[in-house]
């Protein structure tokens, strides 16, 4: 039950999640059966049930993803010295984490390529 290639992920509203989870508790339907009826993955349903059991209806609220906090800074032309230095430090932290994981980035934009250090050393 995967999404089609290039398709968008389904966004479930809080009301839809609550309706499905309440069906599980009220009607005592099995997770597998309910997942098939509602056209949702069993893992996603399990996570919703767990969150609902631990935090109630408030836990079913959609959480906003944080996004990239540096995107606005990197495109801004009028950075203060402090903002510019913070951006440099954060970029260096990201590069250090990449090196720890064993890869580097070559190129920019659409032609960006992730190269493992093992491949880099053998060339």
Structure tokens given for 19? 């309706």
**What pLDDT was estimated at residue 75?**
67
The Cα angle at residue 93 between residues 98 and 114, in degrees rounded to 5: 25
Residues across the chain: 123
Angle between helices 31-38 and 14-27 (to 10 degrees): 140
| pLDDT tens digits for range 33-46 | 999 999 899 999 99
The Cα 123–Cα 117 span in angstroms is 10
User: Is it the case that residue 21 has pLDDT exceeding 70?
Assistant: yes
């Amino acid at each position: 039950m995967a999404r089609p290639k290039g398709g968008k992920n389904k966004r479930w509203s809080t009301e839809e999640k609550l309706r499905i989870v309440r069906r599980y508790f009220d009607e005592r339907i099995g997770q597998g059966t309910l997942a098939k009826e509602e056209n949702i993955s069993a893992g996603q349903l399990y996570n919703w049930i767990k969150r609902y059991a631990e935090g109630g209806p408030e836990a079913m609220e959609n959480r906003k993803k944080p996004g990239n906090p540096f995107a606005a800074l990197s495109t801004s032309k009028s950075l203060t010295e402090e903002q510019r230095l913070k951006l440099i430090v954060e970029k260096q932290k990201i590069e250090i984490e990449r090196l720890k994981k064993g890869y580097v980035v070559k190129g920019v934009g659409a032609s960006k390529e992730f190269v493992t250090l093992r491949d880099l050393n053998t060339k």
